[in-house]
Structure formats: C-alpha cells, structure tokens
Amino acid sequence: MRPIIAIVADVIEDPSVNTKPNTVDISPTMFKDTLLAAGGLPIVVPYPSQLSLIPEMVQAYLPLFDGLILPGGPDVDPTLYGEEPSQEIGPANPPLDQFELALIRATYAANKPMFGLCRGSHILNVAFGGTLYQDLATQKKAAIRHLQRTSGEYPTHHVSIVPQSRLHPLLGDRAYVNSRHHQATRRLGNGLRLAAQANDGTIEAFESSENDLVLGLQWHPENLWQEDPPQLRIYADFIDRVSAHRQANLTASLGATVL
C-alpha cells in the first residue's frame, strides 16, 4: 500500500479567477509525479487564511498522512529566527509560516518523516531553532550564484555529500544540482547535521543526527531525476522511511490498544 504524503499548498494569484481574492491553492505538478514514481500517494493540504484555525486544522490533518513534504515558496519571516528584516528580504507569508511550523512540530511528535525542499528546508531548520541567510549574495562572502538564471530543470552547480550522511549511499561523493534560492540555512537547528554543501560552504542538505525523520534539501530532485536517475533515490528513500515509520506507528498503536 502506498504511504500517503501530504504536500503543503502554496497560494498564488490567478488572473483568470474573477473574484477578490483572485488566488488559488496550488502544488507544483512535479511533486505529484515524483511522489507517484517513488511509490507514494500525494495529497495536498491547504493552510487556512485565518490564523486562529491553525491548531484545529493541524490536529485534523495529522491522522490523514504518513509523511510530509514542505515545498519551495516565499521567504521565511526573519523575526521567527530572531532577526529584523534586511533590505533584500522578499515577501513573507505569515499564515504559511505559522501553519508549517505547527505542522512540523505535530508531525515530528507523531514520529512521521518530513522532507523540506528549498524554502521547505528553511522553515524546517527554523522550526528546530536554526537561522537563515536572508540574502546569500549580500550576506555570504564569495558565494557562488545560487539563484540560477538557467531554467530550473537544469543543474548549475555541484555539491559535496558528507561521507557519513544518510544521503551519501544514495548519491555518492558529489552531485550536480539545480539552484533556485536567494536564501539558505545559516546555523543548523538543534539535532540537525550537515549532509551536503556547495563549494562556497553554503549548506545544501541537512538531516537529523538523532533519527531518520528529517531531511532538508536546498535543490529540487523532482526536476532532475528524469535526466539524472539517482536523484529519484532521494524520494524513494523518503518513501521507504515513511513506510517503515507507518508500520512502526501502527504496531505501537495496536500494542497500546491491546494493553
């Protein structure tokens, strides 16, 4: 049975919607296609426009999925990691920030794996107490170009994979990746360890040092695996971990019922 993977929806303006607001809740097609190719069953979960609904929605969503995808999106509000906004910060989305932080905490407490990509890895790092570069180009000396001008399905820079990481058996020492970010993880949160970095030292992947529940990735394998098949292993490994935890959580809850 395919494990169910929740993808948090983003909200974007759609000029074809003739109402106010003219927004739609969306998830990029490649998440759906890649999760299906890797053995998962995707569902998309929208956040509420009303902040007061967040706790209730998070608790109601939690039993509906086995693993969580935190996708790319807008900048994380820097006050969430103790900084005032720099001149280079882009628009943040407070309801999305608050919803994802609450969902991350609940998902982690429920022993279900999480996979954050780009902004998704940033909010994951912030949830564990880490910090971000608000703007790599102006805040990090000698940073290479991470906001690629080339179309996003093409790789533009290399990353080195940490030999003892969980990522290493999947990709080997080095990978060639796409790069569509102007922010990046700066100080890793509690219980997180480096898994890959660019040659300018930018953190490109991290994982939990305490369990196999957390993966943060700065690049987008969902746009690369068609030409670079090993990139699909990152999703397949996520699905494997989700399936293992689903089984373990089920066994634990059955055990509790019997007792």
Active-site residue set: 118, 220, 222
Interface map 159-188 toward Mn ion (x if CB under 5 A)? --------------------x---------
Minimum CB distance to Mn ion, residue 171 (Å) = 15
- Which listed range, 28-36, 75-83, 145-153, 187-195, lies at the site for Mn ion (CB under 5 A)? 145-153
Cis peptide before 21 (omega within 30 of 0): yes
If one asks whether residue 121 binds Mn ion (CB under 5 A), the answer comes out as: no
Which residues lie below 8 Å from residue 150, measured CB to CB, with a gap of 6+? Answer: 156
Structure tokens at 91: 């628009």
Please, which residue, 179 or 183, has the CB nearer to Mn ion?
A: 179
Q: Which of 136, 106, 133, 124 is nearest to 207 (CA)?
A: 124
How far is the C-alpha of 259 from the C-alpha of 256, rounded, in Å? 5
CA distance 117 to 214: 11
CB of 187 to Mn ion, least distance (A): 17
Which stretch, 74-82, 83-91, 100-108, 146-154, contacts Mn ion (CB under 5 A)?
146-154
Question: If you write DSSP's letter for every residue of 114-152 in order, what string do you get?
Answer: EEEETHHHHHHHHHTT--EES-HHHHSTT----B-SS-T
Q: What is the rounded CA–CA span in Å between residue 225 and residue 231?
A: 5
Which of 131/156 has CB closer to Mn ion? 156
Number of residues this chain uses to bind Mn ion (CB under 5 A)? 2
Name the residue nearer to Mn ion (CB basis): 168 or 182. Answer: 182
CB closer to Mn ion out of 34 and 179: 179
**151 vs 247, beta carbon nearer Mn ion:** 151
Shortest CB 178 distance to Mn ion, Å? 8
Given 146, 186, 220, 246, the residue binding Mn ion (CB under 5 A)? 146
Residue in the shown chain whose Cβ atom is closest to Mn ion: 179
Stretch that binds Mn ion, among 9-17, 58-66, 107-115, 140-148 (CB under 5 A): 140-148
Three-state DSSP class for residue 192: strand
* Alpha helices, DSSP H, located in the chain: 29-37, 54-61, 94-109, 119-127, 136-139, 168-171, 232-258
CB atoms closer than 10 angstroms to residue 138? 12
Nearest approach, Cβ of residue 118 and Mn ion (Å): 9
The footprint of Mn ion (CB under 5 A) covers 146, 179
